[in-house]
Amino acid sequence: MDGNIQVTEKKQVVLSLVQPTGTPTLGNYLGAFKNWAKMAEDYDCLFGAADLHSITVRTEPKVLKSRIIEIYAILLSLGLNPEKNIIFVQSQVPQHSQLGWILNCYTQFGEAARMTQFKDKSKKYAENVNVGLFSYPTLMAADILLYQADFVPVGEDQKQHLELARDIATRMNNLYGNLFTVPAPFIGKAGAKVMSLQEPTKKMSKTDPNTKSFISMLDTPDVILKKIKSAVTDSEGKVYYSEEKPGISNLMSIYSACTGLSYEEIEKEFDGKGYGDFKAAVAEAVIEELRPFRAEFDRIINDKAYILSSMEKGAERAEKRARRTLDKVMKKIGFVSYR
Distance, in Å, from the CA atom of 43 to the CA atom of 35, rounded to the nearest integer, reads 12
Under 8 Å between Cβ of 140 and 165: yes
> What is the three-state SS of 269-328?
HCCCCCHHHHHHHHHHHHHHHHHHHHHHHHHHHCCHHHHHHHHHHHHHHHHHHHHHHHHH
> Which helix (H) or strand (E) covers residue 28, if one does?
helix 26-31
For the question of residue 203 being annotated catalytic, the response is: yes
Name residue 45's beta-bridge partners: 14
Distance, in Å, from the CA atom of 80 to the CA atom of 86, rounded to the nearest integer, reads 9
The CB density around residue 144, as the number of other CB atoms within 10 Å, is 26
For the question of residue 206 being annotated catalytic, the response is: yes
Find the catalytic residue in 11, 119, 124, 206.
Answer: 206
Q: Which residues contact 151 (CB under 8 A, 6 or more apart)?
A: 12, 13, 14, 15, 43, 183, 184, 185, 186
Rg for the chain, CA atoms, rounded:
22
Give the closest residue to 259 by CA, choosing from 238, 282, 242: 282
Find the catalytic residue in 121, 227, 245, 279.
Answer: 121
Find the catalytic residue in 34, 203, 227, 245.
Answer: 203
Grouping H, G, I as helix, E, B as strand and the rest as coil, residue 44 is: strand
Q: Which residues contact 278 (CB under 8 A, 6 or more apart)?
A: 239, 248, 251, 255, 270
Distance between alpha carbon 76 and the CA centroid of its chain, in Å? Answer: 14
Half-sphere exposure of 271 (CA within 13 A, CB side): 6
Under 8 Å between Cβ of 182 and 173: yes
Give the closest residue to 185 by CA, choosing from 216, 209, 161, 213: 161
Which positions are catalytic? 121, 203, 206
